[in-house]
Amino acid sequence: MTTYDFSLLHIDQADGVLWATIDAPPVNVMTVPLSKELGKLCRTVAEDDAVRAVVLQSANPEFFIAHYDVENILSWPADRPAERKNELSGFHLMCERWRTMPKATIVKVAGRVGGGGAELSASCDMRFGLLGGTVINQMEVPIGILPGGTGTQRLPRLVGRGRAMELVLGGVDLDAATAERWGWLNRAFATLEELDAYVDDLARRIASFPPQAVINGKAAVLAAEGDPREGLLEEAYLFDQLLSRPDAQAAMRRFLAAGGQTREGELRVGELNAEINR
């Protein structure tokens, strides 16, 4: 059996299922170290024949992953013209690996998820949530950028063009009941116990089936989606165009100064992003 050794992910395995629990206090911001661990996990588990289904979950009941680290984004070079790339970025590649690996990938979202965390979640095969707990937010446009980690390509496929525009351009909070109705969540449960039980039972159920049938079944469904590569490259180019703008740099700094990436600020991130643009 493959050995998994991480500092921000707690790993458990049984019955062909691997549970990866994210534990990056205070709000599970997608920092570079967390992103690297998630990338290493997906590369490793993709080659692990003992794993047939993967469940991503959080040790923090309030947050799955808040969003990508805005402080880190502010450190990226912003003094050169945007260029169209021919290769996918590291974050795009990681999300694509989660989308395409020959395993069932399931996300258990009991609390808030936003930005890059929502993009990672949308890249996985299935998402399950908690009524009164799960909240989804693409918070990038309010801080002057755009969902640059696959979000502009995943959301229209998940929820349709109009709803994707509402989430991307409006930066609104999406509650669990609406997310289930729109198709972002597969199901939303009334209690955490029901959520845990259903996801764990489903993962074990999938892992009990003939492995090649699961692999080929997933591959066949993915074939219906087509190749998102060109869209992802365009997303990256448009993101880079925004990154160098002074208004984007100022908005990101206002976001952090107003409480972004703190527990209090992230619990009301939809309201916070409206306030910093008044």
The CATH code of the domain that includes 67 is: 3.90.226.10
> Per the domain annotation, does 200 fall within a domain?
no
Residue 145 has pLDDT above 90, yes or no: yes
> Per the domain annotation, does 3 fall within a domain?
no
pLDDT of residue 102: 98
> Per the domain annotation, does 29 fall within a domain?
yes
Q: Which residues have C-beta within 8 Å of that of residue 222, sequence separation ≥ 6?
A: 99, 100
pLDDT of residue 205: 98
> Per the domain annotation, does 167 fall within a domain?
yes
Residue 1 has pLDDT above 80, yes or no: no
> Per the domain annotation, does 198 fall within a domain?
no
pLDDT of residue 262: 97
pTM of the model: 0.96
Cα–Cα distance measured from residue 120 to residue 124, given in angstroms and rounded to the nearest whole number = 7
Q: What's the domain count of the chain?
A: 1
Give mean pLDDT, residues 226-252. Answer: 96
Segments forming the whole domain that contains residue 84: 9-191+205-275
> Per the domain annotation, does 196 fall within a domain?
no
Cα–Cα distance measured from residue 179 to residue 112, given in angstroms and rounded to the nearest whole number = 12
Q: Which two tokens stand for residue 245?
A: 């703008």
pLDDT of residue 278: 87
Please state whether beta strands 9-14 and 17-22 pair in parallel, antiparallel, or not at all (unpaired).
antiparallel
> Per the domain annotation, does 76 fall within a domain?
yes
Residue 78 has pLDDT above 90, yes or no: no
Which of 4, 12, 60, 10 shows the shortest CA–CA distance to 204? 12
> Per the domain annotation, does 154 fall within a domain?
yes
